[in-house]
A and B are shown apart, each in its own frame.
Chain A
Amino acid sequence: MQSTTSGTGLAVGERSGPPEPVGPPPRRSSGRTWEWSLAGLLLAPNLILLIVFTYRPLLDNIRLSFTDWNISAPVANPVGFSNYIEWFGREDTRKVLSNTLIFTVATVGISMGLGLALAMLLDQRLRGRNIVRSVVFAPFVISGAAVGVAFQFVFDPSFGLVRDLLTRIGVAVPDFYQRPGWALFMVTFTYIWKTLGYSFVIYLAALQGRRADLDEAAEIDGASPWAHFRKVLLPQLRPTTFFLSITVLLSSVQVFDIINVMTRGGPVGNGTMTLVYQVYRETFVNLRAGYGATVATVMFLILLVVTIVQVRVMDRPQT
Chain B
Amino acid sequence: MNQLTRRGLLGLAGTAGIAGLSACAGTGTSGSSDKAGGASNTIEFWSNHPGSSKPVEQQIIAAFQKENPGLTVKLVDAGKNYEEVAQKFNASLAGGQLPDVVVVSDVTWFNFALNKQLSKLDDLLGTAKVDTGDYVDALYNDYTYAGGHFALPYARSTPLFYYNKELWAKAGLEDRGPKDWAEFKEWSTALKAAVGSGKFAMELADGSNYLDWYFQNLAWDFGGAYSKEWQPTFSDPNTIKAGQFLQDLTKAGVIKYNATPEADFSAGLAGCILQSTGSLGGITKDAKFEFGTAFLPGTDNCPTGGAGVGVPANISDARKANAVKFAEFLTNPQNTVTFTQATGYMPVRKSAVELPEEKTFLEKNPNSKTAIDQLAHTRSQDNARVLLPGGGARIGKALDQIAQGQDVATVFKALDAESQQVFESQIKPKL
- Chain A residues in the interface with B (C-beta under 8 A): 50, 53-55, 57-58, 60-61, 64, 68-76, 152, 157-159, 177-178, 239, 242-243, 246-247, 250, 253-254, 263-270, 276, 279, 281, 283-289, 292-293, 295-297, 299-300, 303-304, 307-308, 310-311, 314-315
Contact = CB atoms under 8 A, between A and B. Distances in A.
Interface string B100-112: 0000000000011
Given A50-B16, A279-B24, A284 B83 contact: yes
Given A74-B31, A158-B269, A69 B397 contact: no
Contacts of B207: 266-269
B19 A73 contact: no
Nearest to A279: B25
Contact of A61 (B15, B26, B389, B401): B26
A74 B22 contact: no
Given A300-B19, A311-B7, A265 B25 contact: no
B318 interface: no
Contacts of B371: none
The interface centre, meaning the residue of A53, A177, A265 with most chain B CB atoms within 10 A of its CB, is A177
Q: What bracket does the count of chain B residues touching chain A fall in?
A: 35 or more
A247 B17 CA distance: 9
A292 B26 contact: yes
B401 A268 contact: yes
B258 to A, nearest CB: 7
B18 A304 contact: yes
B393 A286 contact: yes
Contact of B11 (A76, A296, A307): A307
A144 to B, nearest CB: 15
Contacts of A266: 206-208, 396-397, 400
Most buried by B among A152, A239, A246, A265: A246
A112 to B, nearest CB: 15
Contacts, number: 185
Given A54-B19, A71-B90, A288-B389, 9 more contacts: A55-B19, A250-B17, A250-B18, A263-B208, A266-B397, A269-B400, A279-B25, A287-B426, A289-B26
B93 interface: yes
Interface of B: 6-8, 10-11, 13-29, 31-32, 83, 86-87, 90, 93, 111-112, 114-117, 206-209, 257-259, 263-264, 267, 269, 389-390, 393-394, 396-398, 400-401, 403-404, 422, 425-426
5 contacts: A69-B26, A70-B426, A72-B93, A72-B114, A177-B258
Contact of B14 (A68, A157, A250, A267): A250
A133 B398 CA distance: 46
A58 B83 contact: no
B21 A254 contact: yes
B208 A267 contact: yes
A158 B267 contact: yes
Contact of A75 (B24, B29, B117): B29
B15 A289 contact: no
Closest 7 pairs between A and B when the two form their complex, measured CB to CB: A269-B397, A286-B390, A300-B22, A296-B25, A57-B23, A266-B208, A287-B389
A82 to B, nearest CB: 10
Given A54-B23, A269-B393, A270-B397, A307 B14 contact: yes
Given A159-B267, A287-B389, A292-B26, A267 B400 contact: yes
A52 B6 CA distance: 25
Given A72-B90, A157-B258, A287-B389, A293 B25 contact: yes
Main secondary structure of the interface of B (DSSP, over half): helix
A281 B26 CA distance: 13
Contacts of A270: 397
Contacts of B269: 158
A254 B73 CA distance: 37
A303 B111 CA distance: 33
A50 B18 CA distance: 12
Contacts of A73: 29, 115
Contact of B404 (A177, A268, A293): A268
B253 to A, nearest CB: 13
A283 B15 contact: no
B206 A178 contact: yes
Contacts of B21: 250, 253-254, 276, 296, 299-300, 303
A288 B259 contact: no
B29 A76 contact: yes
B426 A288 contact: yes
Nearest to B25: A296
Contacts of A283: 25-26
B256 to A, nearest CB: 9
A162 B68 CA distance: 55
A74 B32 contact: yes
A268 B264 contact: no
Contacts of B24: 57, 279, 296
